Amino acid sequence: MPAFDAIVVGAGQAGPSLAVRLAGAGMSVALVERKLFGGTCVNTGCMPTKTLVASAYAAHLARCAADYGVVLQGEVGVDMARVKARQDKVVTDARDGLETWLRDAKGVTVFQGHARFESPRDLRVGDEVLTAPRIFINVGGRALVPDMPGVNEVDYLTNTSMLALDVLPRHLVVVGGSYVGLEFAQMYRRFGAQVTVVEKGPRLIGREDPDVSEAIREILEGEGIAFRLKAECISFRQHGPDIAVGVDCENGEPEVLGSHALLAVGRKPNTDDLGLDKAGVALDPRGYIVVDDHLRTNVEGIWAMGDCNGKGAFTHTAYNDFEIVAANLLDDDPRRVSDRITAYALYTDPPLGRVGMSETEARASGRKVLVGMRPMSRVGRAVEKGETAGFMRILVDADSREILGASILGTSGDEAIHAVLDLMYAREPYSVLQRAVHIHPTVSELIPTILGELKPL
């Protein structure tokens, strides 16, 4: 039975960095990876999808070339095989680089195989049983496939299988009008496919404010994407070569016929085949590993990081999980999950950058709130780029003068949002940012202007 000081299960965003950090502190570390190094982000999430988003943007910009005084001969075409090859190279380079780094790391022993607990200290990987007093779980998640009528009778796609396509769907039906679904919808519309988004709720991305949701819908409809909202009873059936998606909406035809159907209705943690019951590790009703503010499970000596703990569904939160665990174990620095400010982006074009409270949440908080807004049509950089869709909104606590949250839907919104995020971490009053002198011409330079025009919500 090979014995180690620590075992890390999963080579996603948190696991590899923690393994190398622990080894650097003098521990012997086993890192176990079931299949692909890099986890969701590298293999089926951020890196491949944002590579596709970039290709789709290039196609879109080429079609709009005349608007910028650029003359192209003939129609713009998209070679999906080359698009996929570019995506695959980005992914493979990142994955291979990570695996090489881990295998070369002093003090880290890499095991490839499916790890399952046999006790709180023992993990079986193939024919071997590894043991350690410290075990760190970083197993990520996968696409949720609800038990919708007929779903198992058709060849549906998920975010993972979608990335294997090297042909253009004639008509892509995206089931799920939230973050993953909308990114795929826009990119494939820009590649040239007909696209319909089916959403059970009354509007897109229900987590966001209604005006953000409406603005994104208008942007995507302007590119030719169709939407079927309030689809209460979604079902599937084969209709010749097509997939018929039943939508049961208030208006329109009861079915949508598509050549391909993508399910983008949520995620689930990879915790159902780890033998966690043998270790006594507690799960919540959705299957996420229950952890405290320092990412410790209910079992002494076992931690959970990344998507599998339900504390964040992003690469940046998973990496921060590593930082929290390492700080507490090695640096005598009591970092906590509750110190983290919610921040994320939707990578449609234009992107949505989000931090802290939405307007809806701010209203419900009972605070006295100030709000500042500006349409992107009044942002010089957006006008110069010819990308004026969207708006910027910042929310401030009228009493403490601290920023509560912000939404930036517009060109460079995913980058400009960090000026707000950094001030929120500093816990300084908004006037600090209001008096900052930003570079012109940028999107960020309008943030101080907005903060100088605050009004009661």
d(CA 324, CA 21): 12
The tokens 């993953």 sit on which residue?
Answer: 180
End-to-end CA distance of the chain: 63
3-state SS, one letter per residue, for 97-142: HHHHHHHHCCCEEEEECCEEECCCCEEEECCEEEECCCEEECCCEE
d(CA 72, CA 195): 26
Among 171, 316, 438, 440, the active-site one is 440
pLDDT at residue number 249: 61
Mean pLDDT per 10-residue section of the chain, whose length is 457 residues:
95 97 98 96 97 98 96 94 98 98 98 97 97 98 94 96 97 97 98 97 96 98 96 93 87 90 97 97 98 98 97 95 98 97 98 98 97 98 98 98 98 98 98 98 98 97
Cβ contact 199:247 at 8 Å: no
pLDDT at residue number 306: 97
β-pairing verdict for 171-175 and 194-198: parallel
Q: 361-374 burial string, b = 16+ CB within 10 Å, else e?
A: ebeeeebebbbbbb
DSSP code of residue 280: T
440 has catalytic annotation: yes
pLDDT at residue number 248: 75
Q: 377-391 burial string, b = 16+ CB within 10 Å, else e?
A: eebebbeebebbbbb
CA Rg, the chain, in Å?
A: 24
Model's pTM, two decimal places? 0.96
pLDDT at residue number 359: 98
pLDDT at residue number 253: 83
Please compute, for residue 41, the number of CA atoms within 13 A of its CA located in the half-sphere on the CB side: 20
Tokens of 298: 């209910």
Cβ contact 421:342 at 8 Å: no
Q: Which of 155, 222, 231 is nearest to 195 (CA)?
A: 222
**Beta-carbon contacts of residue 128 (< 8 Å; ≥ 6 apart):** 1, 2, 111
